[in-house]
Structure 1
Amino acid sequence: MTVANHFELLRTDGAARRGQLTTPHGVVRTPAFMPVGTLGAMKSLHWREVRDAGADIVLGNTYHLMLRPGAERIASFGGLQKFTTWNGPMLTDSGGFQVMSLAQLRKVTEQGVTFRSHIDGAKFELTPERAIEIQRLLNSDIAMQLDECVRLPAEHADIDRAMQLSLRWAERCKRAFETAPDGYMLFGIAQGGDVPELRRASAQGLIDIGFHGYAIGGLAVGEPQAVMLAMIEEVVPILPSDRPRYLMGVGTPDDMLEAVARGVDMFDCVMPTRNGRHGMAFTRYGQINMRNARHQDDPRPLDEESTWPAARDYSRAYLHHLVRSGETLGAMLLSEINIAYYQSLMQGIRASIEAGTFEEFRARTRECWARGDIPPR
């Protein structure tokens, strides 16, 4: 059966791609970074700040929302968009990552995953069919197949077993998704760890099943960046050029820039908000630790040329004071600064692909990061 395509490839510049993905809740410009709102909330941020920063789409998590407040409860409010007031495109992670991260609380079988809730120890079963049911109740524009993600390094046999299981689950997820309304999408997830032949086999298996888009999972889980990029290079040439490509859980600005150069369209990561809560700022000068004492008398803003007010209007001395004092405002300001920087980076990438100058943009951006922060005057 032919799978409808909602992605339009608008421009290429080398392997880098500029496109748009049309969802029931709006259009997503690609390359796109999806801020992570795991529990239906963006930590330290209001939804309006996420919108104003330029995000087209955000991410929620099946496993966590299944536990609280519950998918059926969210459905009674009209879905996750209305429940949260985001009202824009949403992608939901199927819970596969928790199969790995909560290894001591779960058991994996052919049927699915049995969890002990990390909240109260209650027992839950997450099968491919239930994962799709939950995501449909959440009303996510893009649902992800349930998969098993293996933390690297791992034995070849373990990686192979998880990859083959994920392919079988992908088939079950697709069957379960067949009743979804037109316009909603299901992405398959290529696994295979750091083994090239398993990565290629997984990607080809997913293509044979047929999905609206294709994700590369199981990376940024402990392996060096060089390994991650090598695995992207194995998978991307196999994937259909007319479908979106999503690198899950990635990452740093440098990771994203290099992945775009290899043909990736979509990203997500908790790093902008998590690092912001710990006093780290992402800027065009690279990452800056606002806990460092050198900022305590510095009157300059983080970036006087930024279009984001918090990066332009507050002194480094004030941000340093907030962080060192444990003031919530410090976490809030740095989180919004970081989300805004990530979106600004995506906008710069899209514009450079459109203009045919991506390689120049890539070199200039990396040079600025390498040069680092300007020392205090």
Structure 2
Amino acid sequence: MSYYLVQSTDEDILKHAECGGAVTAFFKYLLDKKLVDGVLALKKGEDVYDGLPYLVTDSKELVETCGSLHCAPTMFGKMISKHLKDMNLAVSVKPCDAMSIIELEKRHQIDKDKIYTIGLNCGGTVPPQTAKKMIELFYDVDPRDVIKEEIDKGKFIIELKDGSEKSVKIDELEEEGYGRRSNCQRCELKVPRNADLACGNWGAEKGWTFVEVSSEKGEELLKNAQKEGYINVKAPSEKALEIRGKIEKSMINLGKKFQKEHLDEKYPSNEKWNEYWSRCIKCYGCRDVCPICFCKECALGEDYLDKGTIPPDPVMFQGIRLSHMSFSCINCGQCEDVCPVEIPLSKIYHRAQQRIQETTGFVPGIDDTMPFLYK
């Protein structure tokens, strides 16, 4: 692996970019040179709480995707496999996005030769409605006055229309039940080394992006973008590497702390799980949103399930899903996000995957092999 500080040479990109504009510059190079048909990224919708998946085919539109959107916990893997699999694509990915893409590649749902993955360091995402309530309560401002948000140095920072900034420590927000999504709190993969490039501001100088090269494809992309004049490149200092390493280590330790809390110390009792399962209305939202679940004929539609029974038998309904998906769970939290009756699904899947990982060593979205049940 190699490390660089990267800066876009495009003034318009630098004007709109979060830190150096490297990600957008890579996308611009790939589009301009017709190495991809499109770029899949997020752009701001009505406000900072509204992140919209955006397929860019004209590099002039890329500036619309600049900046952070921590209140948009979307996933791109299934979107690509369902609707964009025939395109040559570049895509911006959080670590869990990259994990889902890798698992879908292994299942022949995405062609890895057709895709460039540009990874974004991720400290976690915040549900949009939670963010609005949190800003109103802890920042004492109208959420509609927020024009920009960022997670940096352990704080959730907002910028207001008048140019002022306010920040609150993430720890304080999460102690009160706000802040990042619970699955993000438990996550240990903060630097997406499972992508072609891992980009972020940890350890970066002001106006530059810290880039870690994670694949031969990523190395070739960076060198060619530099050769063609799309980016400036220089080596990071030893101090920058040290700072980045310390931030990553502290985030990993925090994730392990929350794993112990959520999946052990405060894990729901069997009685509580029975109460959760009794809420289920069999909407299939958890199945439909799961980025790894792709079967055309689902076992949950078989005749041995009572089709008119609500709530469904948890052993047959939840048990079947758990037995099919827990070994491949990437802890993206999408199932929990969409559950209309607020069942904490990501906890049981993450705990099951953790036990499987401890037993077999298999890590979904990281290992090149298939899960052991596929062998």
TM bucket normalised to smaller: under 0.3
Q: TM-score, normalised by structure 2?
A: 0.27
Q: TM-score, normalised by structure 1?
A: 0.26
